[in-house]
Chain A
């Protein structure tokens, strides 16, 4: 008995300290390093689960927060890990999914075999499940050792709990918190075509393509292409990329890219003062992101439109609640009491509200709760749309003039900002942000249209890079024709797919040119990036070792 207690105590011990044998951070850095593993995003997590187990599975739970770097969460993903508290969250989510997959309603459809007995272990059936499901979850086939371990554990759990499916559930829950699922690892192998050099292995390539184009896990065909080596050949890669680019799943990739680039994660914490903005209802707020994403999908995928025209297109989609916010009519002829429906809407010619910058997903997202902010809007436009950096304000900055909207001397935002930025310390940066932001002042903090602020008429004359223009319509035209616009989205697309900035080489220039030649066809750009040799390039040892 004493011996058993001792052994048991020992079984707890390795969990507590950090015995040297478990740490490898101090081991010498290898000569060739793999690109950083990317922690998968909540959107990717959910889409993968839907694609693997079907849309009836609820992915319920909070995720560890993402971090934005160089304008994208997708780039921040290479820096974040999973904290102690975060893993508990992932564990809760994983067990919730596993329970649903093996529950009585779904097991027939989702478990590829039937056990001899539902109340006992069945290694053969467990093996089938682990092998098939594990390949989709880990985005690669499991090794024989991995399979054997999992089958064994599933059997033990089934015996203890007298439930075969509970055993599978335990194993699935375990796979969903494994580093192989939570991180997209990019494994390297020697490149047979170039002796002495390395390349991403086929499965890592497949996973990168699926994450980029579909925001999801690779499907069976893609994994097969990885297994056969097809993805290492130019023709094979093209076949797969073409197949993926023409799949309806491309919409998921496009949506997740723009949600990331436009910073929609910030909607989680956005609120407006209902006394000032009664039309910004909870319904309208929930619909503003969808309005923009629908506009984007319609324009870029369905209409195969010019990316630049996203900023001037009069076409969008509205619900009655959003139409009330924007103060435009939207006729719904359905019966009373129906949920809000998305209805295509086209602004009249010359209406200043054309393009996605005039939508609440931009003008309301980048405004404080009680007033608009030309500075924040200008900054967001520079950083998110044009990839330009705006320095942060100095630590001792005085904001009292800007924030006091009741001062009779400074009725409009322009007047307040002018008073504030006469200080030379502020003027430099405000010159970068405010002129473009001021052109959007016809939109209040909630995204509603206005002509006056505190009784004074709003002046929306503005300037960008020496070009003078007026109002949101003027801004849309100037932005549309700004060279930085297309250069920015091209780089962001690459960074979204690879988790790093593109190199400035000839191949990159060729991609930019092809994008221009295609009249800025966005799915075409994604395809070009996916086919480029840079897409799977390995970072230099130095860069990763930093």
Chain B
């Protein structure tokens, strides 16, 4: 028996997907079902030095040492505290660090009062590339270039976090905390479904995309990936129901100016995905799966709270708070002028699935379904 080499770690750029979108199984007026099998902040890290020439943010320990120094601990004491959990000063130092916010002259939690802590002034990404879309319809100096499409795009979230260690990841790895929590939650938290309907999905033309939450968690396959062709039931709650009009063009599915997107998630993973001015770009992979990017504006404060709600959240919380605040690029507060929204991009993958509504009726089938929907409707569970 020969042990096969593990699949290549790198992920092909989505624009290079060769086949026409969903060209395998031409059919009329069909609805194909998927469940989201991979989801994370879109990162582009192939050139860290180029993105972050100063490389001054460092990791968790560096943040912590800086904090302890700010609190007045001498260099060697700070180092000793960091090295030894049972250092006599460790407990006190921890408490001081966590309550170094000052509110009405009293110490308060930095997580509750980030504004009451000085800005650690993280280095922001100054690289050329980031994934995304042109959300504002304008070209400005803050635009990145999308490595797949070559278009000028808005992605200020990447500007804010692109130089922090937690986000130094390249697919198939997700940013650290997202990878960890996804891996922890995927076997138990309800997933999200995606339906694509159109007259003939093997050809270019208009399509409808529907996103929902499902009532069941995903199941893994024998190789650790997400199982294809499983049946899931769509959560009937309208809260996480989203419909977008899109278009397949040259084999790539696009959604432009799609309005709002809301998906309820599960703690401590993304507890919600809420985008305005939603854009999408999705391509089909050779193995029947699909992959792409979602983009739009999101409330940066919500994002920060979500980030810090994950387990073992980093020492970089305050730095990231200020980085997002500074980088936010939409929806200025009429009173303060501070932008409340930030352009952001998520990367997603999805595997084919059967989707049923809460009455048990099948409403979408995998592209590879061995029987057309009409026939399968004749089949019966119970």
Contact = CB atoms under 8 A, between A and B. Distances in A.
A324 B230 contact: yes
A331 interface: yes
A324 B228 contact: yes
A527 to B, nearest CB: 32
B358 A333 contact: yes
A274 B223 contact: yes
A328 B376 contact: yes
A13 B358 CA distance: 75
A277 B381 CA distance: 25
Contacts of B219: 281, 320-321, 324
Interface string B218-245: 0111110101111101000000000000
Contacts of B358: 333
B233 A331 contact: yes
B382 interface: yes
A351 B369 CA distance: 13
B222 A335 contact: no
Contacts of A275: 4, 223
B231 A278 contact: no
A321 B230 CA distance: 7
Interface stretch (B127-135, B157-165, B295-303, B359-367): B359-367
Interface string A340-365: 00011111110100000000000000
Contacts of B379: 328-329, 345-348, 351
A496 interface: no
B231 A324 contact: yes
Interface in A272-291: 272-275, 277-282
Interface residues of A, number: 35
Given A278-B222, A329-B356, A343 B376 contact: no
Contacts of B4: 273, 275
A323 interface: yes
A278 B228 CA distance: 9
Contacts of B140: none
Nearest to A352: B370
A275 B4 CA distance: 8
A337 interface: yes
Contacts of B362: 329, 331
Interface in B331-382: 354, 356, 358, 360, 362, 365-366, 368-371, 375-376, 378-382
Nearest to A272: B222
Contacts of B376: 328-329, 348
Contacts of B268: none
A327 B368 contact: yes
Contacts of B217: 336-337
Given A324-B227, A331-B233, A332-B231, A281 B381 contact: no
Contacts of B222: 272, 274, 277-282
A416 to B, nearest CB: 18
Which of A272, A332, A349, A449 is the most central at the interface, judged by chain B CB atoms within 10 Å of its CB? A332
Contact of A336 (B215, B220, B230, B382): B215
A275 B215 CA distance: 29
Nearest to B370: A449
Given A324-B228, A337-B188, A348-B379, A279 B370 contact: no
A328 B370 contact: yes
A340 to B, nearest CB: 9
Interface in B12-28: none
Given A274-B221, A277-B222, A320-B219, A331 B360 contact: yes
A125 interface: no
Given A329-B362, A330-B231, A336 B370 contact: no
Contact of B371 (A321, A332, A348): A348
Contacts of B370: 327-328, 449
B215 A329 contact: no
B230 A320 contact: yes
A332 B215 CA distance: 10
B378 A327 contact: no
**Interface range on chain B (Cβ under 8 Å from partner):** 35 or more
B109 interface: no
B215 A324 contact: no
A346 B375 CA distance: 12
Nearest to A370: B1
A115 B40 CA distance: 69
Which of A281, A331, A351 is the most central at the interface, judged by chain B CB atoms within 10 Å of its CB? A331
Contacts of A280: 222
A320 to B, nearest CB: 6
A345 B371 CA distance: 15
B231 to A, nearest CB: 5
A348 B371 CA distance: 9
B266 to A, nearest CB: 10
Contacts of B354: 323, 328-330
Nearest to A285: B222
B259 interface: no
B57 interface: no
B233 A332 contact: yes
Given A324-B230, A328-B370, A333-B360, A278 B225 contact: yes
Nearest to B358: A333
A282 B378 CA distance: 29
A451 B371 CA distance: 12
B202 interface: no
A323 B353 CA distance: 11
Contacts of A281: 219-222, 227
B206 interface: no
B238 to A, nearest CB: 19
Interface in B224-281: 225, 227-231, 233
Which of A323, A333, A349 is the most central at the interface, judged by chain B CB atoms within 10 Å of its CB? A333
B188 to A, nearest CB: 6
Contacts of A328: 354, 370-371, 376, 379
B234 to A, nearest CB: 11
B371 A351 contact: yes
A140 to B, nearest CB: 47
Interface in B153-175: none
B356 A331 contact: yes
Contact of A324 (B229, B233, B380): B229
Nearest to A277: B222
B377 to A, nearest CB: 8
B120 interface: no
A330 B1 CA distance: 35
Contacts of A274: 221-223
Interface string A308-326: 0000000000101101100
A278 B227 contact: yes
B222 to A, nearest CB: 4
Contacts of A279: 221-222, 227-229
B126 interface: no
Contact of B216 (A336, A348, A369): A336
A332 B227 contact: no
Contacts of B227: 278-279, 281, 321, 324
Given A274-B223, A329-B231, A331-B231, 13 more contacts: A282-B222, A318-B381, A324-B228, A328-B371, A329-B356, A331-B360, A336-B215, A344-B381, A344-B382, A347-B379, A348-B376, A349-B378, A351-B379
15 contacts: A274-B221, A274-B222, A277-B222, A280-B222, A281-B227, A324-B231, A327-B228, A327-B369, A328-B371, A329-B356, A329-B379, A332-B231, A346-B380, A347-B379, A449-B370
The 8 closest A-B pairs by CB, nearest first: A278-B221, A274-B222, A329-B354, A324-B230, A348-B378, A274-B223, A331-B356, A331-B360
